Structure 1
Amino acid sequence: MKKKISKGTIIRTAVLGLAIVNNALAIAGKSPLPVDNQTVTEVISFVFTTAAAFAAWWKNNSFSQNAIAADEVLHGEKGE
């Protein structure tokens, strides 16, 4: 039986992906955010990337079936 990836894992992964795209656009000189002031854009980008990186690093993101099953054992969840 396949286990489901948690919503939190999907959200943290998506936020991290958005942060990486945002930084790549900023490096390329594109304005990823609709703000004219370059400094504000860089600060927002830095805060966004830092928050996403720490959230992704702090949480246990289980993608493989074995890792998801181990989480269920650890947290006492029952499979079907």
Structure 2
Amino acid sequence: MNVKATEKISAGTIARFVLLALALVNQALTIVGHSPIPVDEDGVQQFISLAFTGATSLWAYWKNNDVTKKARTKGE
């Protein structure tokens, strides 16, 4: 009988998903006019929010995030 071993989701994968979720919430709040990052100038706030969202999205996309059980299975 061939038993497949699965790994747990790594802490790095969880951290990337949490940061991506925070970036998306921050972006949504900025779009509707709230100020999640206390900056006086609108242009600076929008740039920081966009940069945070963009960097987090690229980081989460670039890393190999083994989320599904099949992807975390070792062996065959």
TM-score band, normalised by shorter chain: 0.7 to 0.9
The answer to which structure has the higher helix fraction is 1
Structure 1 vs Structure 2 CA RMSD: 1.5
The alpha carbon displacement at 1:35 in A equals 1.0
Flag as ranges the 4+ runs of structure 1 deviating above 4 A: none
TM-score (norm 1): 0.81
The answer to which structure has the higher strand fraction is 2
Note if 1:10 corresponds to 2:14: yes
The alpha carbon displacement at 1:62 in A equals 1.0
Which residue in the other structure is 1:19 paired with? 23
Which residue in the other structure is 1:31 paired with? 35
User: Alignment partner for residue 53 of structure 1, among 50, 57, 63?
Assistant: 57
How many aligned positions are there? Answer: 71
In the alignment, the residues of structure 1 paired with residue 53 and residue 9 of structure 2 have an alpha-carbon distance, to the nearest angstrom, of 23
User: Alignment partner for residue 43 of structure 1, among 40, 47, 55?
Assistant: 47
TM-score (norm 2): 0.84
Structure 1 residues without counterparts, runs of 5 or longer: 74-80
Structure 2 residues without counterparts, runs of 5 or longer: none
In the alignment, the residues of structure 2 paired with residue 43 and residue 34 of structure 1 have an alpha-carbon distance, to the nearest angstrom, of 13
